[in-house]
Structure 1
Amino acid sequence: MRIFHYISILLLIFAGSLSAQDKVIHELKQSLAAKKDSIGYVNVLNQLGMQYHLSNADSCFLFTVKARDIATRLGYKKGMADALNNLSIFYALKANMKLAIEYDYKALLLYRYLGDSANVCQVLMNSSIYHNYEGTKPAAGIFLQQAMNIGKHLPNDSIYGLVLINYAIHFGGDTLRQDSVIWAIQKAKEILAKYPGSRNHYYIEAFEADGWMKRGEADKAVKKINQLANRAIGEGLIFVGIDMLEHIETYTKNGHYADVIPYKEKIFALAKQAGYTELMLPTITSLYRYYADKKDAAKTAAYGKVLYELVRRRQEMKSNIQVNHLDYFLKEQALTEWQLSNKVQKEKIAKTNMKKEHRQILIGLLSGVLLLLGGFTFSRYRSYRNLRQQELMLADMNAVISEKNKQLQINDDFKNKLIAIIANDFREPLNNIIKVAVMFRNNAGKEALQEVIDQVDISSRNTLVVFDNILRWIKSQLSGFVYSPMACPLLLFFEEILQGMAPVLINRQISAGLDVAGDILLAGEPEMLQFVNRSLLQYVVSFSPDNHTIGIMAIKEAHRVKVVFTSTAPQITAEMAARLFVHQEVITMVICKDFMDKMGGQIWAEKTGTQLQLIYTLPSFN
């Protein structure tokens, strides 16, 4: 019966620091009903299967098989690994170690594939338990050592504590390893002290009771074991309770006298309740022999029948170990479900007959209540509908007013921008006209007068161009405007602008370094693009010192072209550059940004030291 002592450690890997067993299962079933995604559903099924290991092996099997089928269909490897792990423990509880080892190995392969070191550690430990029970102790020792090597490097060292407990159980009877066994127990105590609610403390306390027994304090040890067993059973941890009671039989074998028959009968009753009967062969055999010697025919027959059934099942497992075992439990569960369904149907029929007697009275009462509620609901509905109509009417009116305010604000902004442009760009030609008038009145010289007239001619032409651009901008702001990009030869555009600005550049002795390839075509609206180019060039010229060179460069970037205007402008700060295209005072720059947005481009300014760069990007027409 030491298998209970080994497998219980294996089960506690999953028990963790949970609250009472029934409460946990109830909470998991509630969360199962609320799960919508299939992966989450598989995880809860596996958790339910894990929990039922400790109290009902057959329920564990059903939840685990369902989780395995769904996980396999989804290709969810973590869910498949957890289900295989649960199945290996289930078959260990059914004393079928060959299948337990097979499923354990399959789970190990998946956990290694997933890189799940914690579960690799616990599966290796399980393998050592199964091989130890099968009698292959060298293999059991190898698996246990592998689990020890992995466990001491895990960040969550609670699993390492379990491996140490298993180590102490595995080598507890080896007189040459008593020092290492004591060390393992002490180390496990230190680790599990971090997890005060863990069920693993049952085994730490059982080790202490074993120590009292070895020192001759038998009564104290037996009392402690009974307390641990009762506490575990009270929390729904039936498997742990059985393992605690097993210590009493071990004490009697080591010289302590106690009547173990009541303990064995209690163990058998608990195992039968939880579905661990296959592990009860030694206990049942002992009870059968005891009552046969006592000439107790009734109990001898009862335990003989159970013993016969266990032996028969083991023979079936030997002949067809996997299929027969699965079929047996599935058919047994199907029979149980059918019996349950039959019982439920009978209860439903009885309840239906009983309800018929009260139905007429209830229908009459409910009809009256429904009439009252209907009248009240209708009156409330009419009030609600009237209120709702008023709310919708107010909402529509507010929406109309809000839209009109928004349109007024847009129109007002547009008007301000338009006035600012006119005030800015028409000032120069008007000033030149005034100069000509003054010079005529003062009889100025012919050469001076000719120079001013030339300036008036140039500025007037530029003003006409600006006026055309303003008209274009006005059209772009009107509803119904559709932007249609065209091929814009950038080099020709700049040559045209520089030709128009030649007098200003010559007067201030400013030159333009034009680095633009002749094959560069931008995808844009020509008039908008010329407005942007002219405005940016005028801006850098206005802030550049005399006798200075302005750089104009075009750079191809994937499917876009980047155009950079470079000049020295010490009076422009980095903050002014950052806000250049959003500041309402520089209205021309704001209009440039509007045009670039419509053409699908970007525009910004950068200031580094005294150097100012105005940059825009547009898609390449190529």
Structure 2
Amino acid sequence: MKGRKILFILLFLMSGSVPPLFGRHFYQEPAKPSHDHVSLVDSINHLAGVFLRTEPDSAQALITESLEVSRQYDYTAGVARALFLQGNYYQNRGQLELAYRTFYESLQLHESEKDKKSVAECYNSIGDVFRRQKNYKEASRNYDLSFALANEIGDSALVSENINNFGDVFRDQKDYDAAILRYNEALEIDLKINNGYGVTDGYNNLGDVYLYLADYDQAISYYNRALRLAESMNNQLEVADNLNKLGRAYAAKDDLETALFYSKLAATVSGRIRLTEELMEAYYSLAEVYQRVGRYDKALESHMLYSKFQDSLLDVRSVRKISELQFLFESEKKDSEILLKEAELETQSVQLKWLITAVILLIILALVFYRNYISKQRVNNKLIAQQEEIKRQTERLEEKNRQLKIINEEKNEIIGMVAHDLRAPINQVMSVVNLMHYEKESFSDDMVSYLSIMERATTRMKFMVSEILDAEAIENSTFNMDIENVDLCEIIEEEKKNYRLYADKKKLKLTTELVGNPACARVDKNIYRNIIENLLSNALKYSPEGKEIKLILRFEADRVVTSVKDEGPGLSDEDMKRVFGKYQRLSAQPTGGEESIGLGLSLVKKFTEAMNGEVWCESTEGNGAEFFVSFEKVTSNSNK
């Protein structure tokens, strides 16, 4: 490195030009991070960006790690990106002053790196901070800067996001026609480029406008579209936001029971991932609905929680502090420009003193060898320090993993409680839907269509709640079983008939095969049927058209083995490690757009082991999968 610097200066002297060597402007070649360090930081930042939408606390831990590594190796772009993600974390938690400070610091670093896209993203986020503080003039100014850069670099997704933000400003100022115009313009762009997050935002925004216009059915329709899309992308931020909005829409429509359901669910999701603003809105909605249904104790409790979060979010001192910070940052930027001009003038002056420069160069040449020796010593010491730091980081990661395990157990408990509480209202809704079927001849076509949608939705919700409660019952050892000698052949043929219509619909061939001499097995008949239904449903869900699914029953010496074999995409090595875990979503995608909460295979494992059976899977990626369950075979001497 030093040798290249000296060669650079000598070449300048030979060409008749002399680089500045006087004072603070003496040439220093900046240290550059290695390719491995850049890849590591970029990977951490990417993962933190994903976790911001699903697990903000995990994202915060990764952001802190990225900042430490980036600053240690002087990776400016990595620091800038991590600060941008940090600003989003603060903004999602309602800490707007910290968000503004962090976004602005990120902006300055991105400008020094000449990264126009990231600069545009920073202006966009700073505009969001001002809009939330109702400072629409500053919000619009920052959105304009972001929009101009997005157009310049041809980033359609960022252009769409800015158009949506302009719509937000119009909406907040009650110019709803202009807002709808902007939202539809942005939505058209996002649909064209298949931008899932942008489409979700567009549906959300249109739902907001129609809610303000008291067109509740239209608002609920857009909110439901956004919710389904957010769930499919596991975007927990948008899921919480949409649940809140559905609660408000149903409350405005005087459907208080449904409003209470969505607001409670919004509070649960927001609290789980610590979303301050969404949690505040959920408590506000709960307070309003509880008051309208006469539950004044619950209304007071919810309103107190709402007030607590509102005070932290809309603190007037925070608004004033952001304005002061903006002034300081603008002044600092101007001072930097002045210093840069002074540096250029000083450089021109120093270049006239080339004779003095030549003498200094000779001295530098003499000192280089000594400095190289010192540098090697420093590198060795730095390597030792890095090894110690890696050890400390490993210990911190182990502690974080322990904390995450505890949080996961608490999450499972909350999910079980929510599922149990949901069962009664779902049954009530299904009862109402069944009653409405008797009157559907008097309904319009649209009403019949809505009734069908409600029936499918409630059936799916009841199935999901049942799966969650079944899993909870097995884990708590409260699941009752009736183990007896069962002829599995009959159940296999029944399930083949039950699923034939589904298989024909997807153009799949469903066959059965018996291997060995038939005999009974020791199982609970209904639970075994549930296991087969889960395995068949899973195979049908992931099998492409024209393929075959085999339901095989093998009678071995002392075991009866049932397997479901498909010709789908198979499982990767990573999928095989977590295939029977709870709430797991594997890499393969359903071929018919089906949805899943990730409990089916987990229940298969728990049911099988509860009946003293064995379960496993054999698969190679790209060549289908075969799931096996094995139970005790009934011999001639076995008793029922």
Ranked by relative contact order (alpha carbons within 8 Å, sequence separation 6 or more), the top structure is 1
Under TM normalisation by the shorter chain, which class is it?
0.3 to 0.5
What TM-score results when the alignment is normalised by the length of structure 2? 0.40
What TM-score results when the alignment is normalised by the length of structure 1? 0.42
